[in-house]
């Protein structure tokens, strides 16, 4: 969650990147542009590299396989849904010419929004490569309302016509709105589930008699509104607190404010939303083949290798005939995801089907993210250093500005082996914001959810991003709108509901619906 969650150090370079100098030029604007600060008057926290390195090293999870570090309230799929959402709200489709004309992104930029432009691109007219051809009545001359879906290549005993990969060009590059969604396999399969979600809604509309020319726009509206509702109520409230969205809508946003146009706060992108790095597991149960006790566990490394951006899916450049495991032309059939292992799509999974929990939201990050390949180095150090470079304030200063009644005490921050290192360098009294957010979750949320600073800022930003989108359900229908698609609880819509609606639960087990 947040940029740089992947072990591949070159990922995530999409659009503009904020810098301290860039942010300083925007101070005083009613709407700051693509990036800005929620607390522009707070002093930046300056910390030398040596203490940051030592603190980052102390954030290494000493027992990444220990069940005591699991967060059973947040299934592991939400770690990667969070990354998918991050790419949705940080995708910058502004043209090169507009970026040159407006390098500080004050006027010409795509606003951060939960609008699924990573799925839809510029629509059937502007991004024809994302869409399937129209019906035969049009002789296939134009794209239709449905999105392209890719096929897998059969490996071992997993045979059949499985449309369970991203669509790809002849050399394996994913034909999707945001290339970053092909950087690890769970994010890629999440993107695929969203493509199928749209197509299923198209089928439903066509069956209801909706005129062909109206299907795409109506499907996009339905899909986007249900996605927005799901993100606010199933994702945000799962890692903050139940009812916080309604509370913010009733009382108003106190800290994430803008006049007309939403912006991306660096306190959010550089600190709060990087909570997902602590939720990453080192090993997953991916399906019945790649699971602990199976052919091989689905390690974090393997989840990156079976992609096009970070791994060995290279289209026609792969050997013919293929020579598994890698390189491959497209995803192999034995790596199709079993969603029962990532979300609670069933009341209880059958024996042998493990539901992966995420890791706790706390200051500990799995060892693999401390040793990124190439010159990537330590992800925790990069996060801490980025906070300094962006001029982020301390967690204490943010908590004080928010008038939090019970901010973390120096004694609470000093707890544990990591806290001892923080105290050694005085960081228990002036704490980097990202580390403060994780420590607050550990001390106040039991590692299961964010504490008061993190929860308030995360929820306000997401509510604001939806509220500021003039095509969103909040803008057009208001806070009383409820989802209409089939769901376990009428009037609600969760990621598990989305997967049940799509129906492609575990294709290699022949399970299409539950």
Q: Is residue 6 predicted with pLDDT exceeding 60?
A: no
- 44-55 pLDDT, tens digit per residue, is 999 999 999 999
508: tokens are: 């290699």
Grade residue 426 by pLDDT with cuts at 50, 70 and 90.
Answer: very high
Residue showing tokens 């204490």: 396
Instruction: Look at 70-74, 257-261, 274-278, 435-439 and tell me which has the smallest mean pLDDT.
Output: 257-261
Instruction: Tell whether the torsion through CA atoms of 377, 378, 382 and 385 is positive or negative.
Output: negative
Please state the length of the chain. Answer: 514
SS3 state at 440: helix
The burial of 28, by beta-carbon neighbours within 10 Å (0-12 exposed, 13-18 middle, 19 or more buried), is given as exposed
The residue-averaged pLDDT of 495-500 equals 98
Return the pLDDT at 28.
Answer: 53
- Compute the distance between CA of residue 169 and CA of residue 309 in angstroms, rounded to an integer: 13
Q: Are 71 and 145 a contacting pair, CB within 8 Å?
A: no
**What are the helix (H) ranges across 168-235?**
185-207, 212-230
Query: Distance from CA of residue 447 to its chain's centroid?
Result: 19
Q: Are 127 and 306 a contacting pair, CB within 8 Å?
A: no
Return the pLDDT at 361.
Answer: 98
Return the pLDDT at 96.
Answer: 64
Residue showing tokens 């200051």: 363
- Compute the distance between CA of residue 338 and CA of residue 158 in angstroms, rounded to an integer: 13
How far from 103 is each of 37, 91, 95, 107, 135, CA to CA, in Å? 18, 16, 11, 9, 42
Q: Is residue 235 predicted with pLDDT exceeding 80?
A: yes
Return the pLDDT at 7.
Answer: 35
Q: Is residue 105 predicted with pLDDT exceeding 70?
A: no
Q: Are 83 and 187 a contacting pair, CB within 8 Å?
A: yes
Q: Is residue 10 predicted with pLDDT exceeding 70?
A: no
SS3 state at 165: strand
How far from 303 is each of 9, 10, 268, 406, CA to CA, in Å? 15, 16, 27, 40
Q: Is residue 102 predicted with pLDDT exceeding 90?
A: no
Instruction: Look at 8-12, 233-237, 415-419 and tell me which has the smallest mean pLDDT.
Output: 8-12
DSSP state for residue 485 in the 8-state scheme:
S
Q: Are 457 and 272 a contacting pair, CB within 8 Å?
A: yes
User: Cβ neighbours of residue 505 under 8 Å, at least 6 residues apart?
Assistant: 338, 339, 340, 345, 499, 511, 512, 513, 514
Q: Is residue 256 predicted with pLDDT exceeding 70?
A: yes
Work out whether strand 35-36 and strand 264-265 pair parallel, antiparallel, or are unpaired. parallel
Residue 419 phi, psi (nearest 5): -65, -30
- 275-325 pLDDT, tens digit per residue, is 999 999 999 999 999 999 999 999 999 999 999 999 999 999 999 999 999
Strand partners, 153: 332
Return the pLDDT at 9.
Answer: 30
The residue-averaged pLDDT of 414-419 equals 98
441: tokens are: 């979750």
* Rounded (5°) CA angle 180-129-231: 45
pLDDT above 90 covers what percent of the chain? 83
Strand partners, 75: 357
The residue-averaged pLDDT of 423-451 equals 98
Return the pLDDT at 11.
Answer: 37
Return the pLDDT at 19.
Answer: 80
- Compute the distance between CA of residue 202 and CA of residue 330 in angstroms, rounded to an integer: 26
Return the pLDDT at 8.
Answer: 33
The residue-averaged pLDDT of 394-419 equals 98
SS3 state at 283: strand
Grade residue 107 by pLDDT with cuts at 50, 70 and 90.
Answer: low
Q: Is residue 497 predicted with pLDDT exceeding 50?
A: yes
Q: Is residue 174 predicted with pLDDT exceeding 50?
A: yes
Strands (DSSP E) along 295-404, which ranges? 298-299, 357-359
Within a 13 Å sphere around the CA of 69, how many CA atoms are in the beta-carbon half? 18
Q: Is residue 1 predicted with pLDDT exceeding 80?
A: no
Continuous segment of H or E residues that includes residue 70: strand 70-75
Q: Are 363 and 439 a contacting pair, CB within 8 Å?
A: yes
Return the pLDDT at 512.
Answer: 85
SS3 state at 72: strand
CB atoms near residue 148 (< 10 Å): 18
338: tokens are: 């079993």
- Compute the distance between CA of residue 393 and CA of residue 384 in angstroms, rounded to an integer: 12
The burial of 37, by beta-carbon neighbours within 10 Å (0-12 exposed, 13-18 middle, 19 or more buried), is given as buried
Q: Are 273 and 108 a contacting pair, CB within 8 Å?
A: no
């Amino acid at each position: 969650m947040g940029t740089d969650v992947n072990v591949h150090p070159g990922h995530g370079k999409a659009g503009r990147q904020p810098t301290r100098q860039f942010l300083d030029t925007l101070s005083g604007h009613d709407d700051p542009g693509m990036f800005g600060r929620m607390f522009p008057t707070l002093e930046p926290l300056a910390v030398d590299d040596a203490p940051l390195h030592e603190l980052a090293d102390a954030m290494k999870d000493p027992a990444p396989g220990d069940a005591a570090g699991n967060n059973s309230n947040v299934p592991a799929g939400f770690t990667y849904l969070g990354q998918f959402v991050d790419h949705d709200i940080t995708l910058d489709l502004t043209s090169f010419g507009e970026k040159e004309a407006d390098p500080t992104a004050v006027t010409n930029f795509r606003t951060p929004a939960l609008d699924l432009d990573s799925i839809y691109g510029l629509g059937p007219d502007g991004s024809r490569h994302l869409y399937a051809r129209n019906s035969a009545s049009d002789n296939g001359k134009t794209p239709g309302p449905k999105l392209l879906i890719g096929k897998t290549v059969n490996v071992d005993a997993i045979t059949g016509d499985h449309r369970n990969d991203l669509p790809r060009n002849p050399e394996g590059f994913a034909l999707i709105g945001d290339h970053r969604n092909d950087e690890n396999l769970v994010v890629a399969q999440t993107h695929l589930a969203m493509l199928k979600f749209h197509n299923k809604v198209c089928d439903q509309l066509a069956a209801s008699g909706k005129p062909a020319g109206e299907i795409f726009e109506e499907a996009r509206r339905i899909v986007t509104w249900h996605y927005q509702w799901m993100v606010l109520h199933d994702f945000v409230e799962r890692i903050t607190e139940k009812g916080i969205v309604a509370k913010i809508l009733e009382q108003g946003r106190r800290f994430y404010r803008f006049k007309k146009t939403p912006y991306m706060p660096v306190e959010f992108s550089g600190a709060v939303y990087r909570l997902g790095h602590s939720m990453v597991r080192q090993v997953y149960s991916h399906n019945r083949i790649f699971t602990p006790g199976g052919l091989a566990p689905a390690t974090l490394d393997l989840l990156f290798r079976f992609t096009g951006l970070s791994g060995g899916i290279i289209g026609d450049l792969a050997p013919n005939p293929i020579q598994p495991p890698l390189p491959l032309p497209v995803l192999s059939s034995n790596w199709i995801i079993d969603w029962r292992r990532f979300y609670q799509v069933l009341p209880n999974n059958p024996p042998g089907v493990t539901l992966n929990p995420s890791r706790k939201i706390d200051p500990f990050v799995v060892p693999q993210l401390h040793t990124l390949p190439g010159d990537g180095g330590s992800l925790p150090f990069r996060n801490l250093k980025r906070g300094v470079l962006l001029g982020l304030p301390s967690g204490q200063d943010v908590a004080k500005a928010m008038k939090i009644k019970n901010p973390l005490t120096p004694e609470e921050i000093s707890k544990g082996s990591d806290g001892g290192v923080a105290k050694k360098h005085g960081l228990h009294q002036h704490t980097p914001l990202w580390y403060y957010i994780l420590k607050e979750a550990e001390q106040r949320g039991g590692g299961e959810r964010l504490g008061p600073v993190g929860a308030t800022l995360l929820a306000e930003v997401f509510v604001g991003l939806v509220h500021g989108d003039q095509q969103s359900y909040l803008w057009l229908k208001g806070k009383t709108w409820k989802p209409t698609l089939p769901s376990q609880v009428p009037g609600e819509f969760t990621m598990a509901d989305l997967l049940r609606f799509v129906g492609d639960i575990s294709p290699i087990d022949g399970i299409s619906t539950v």
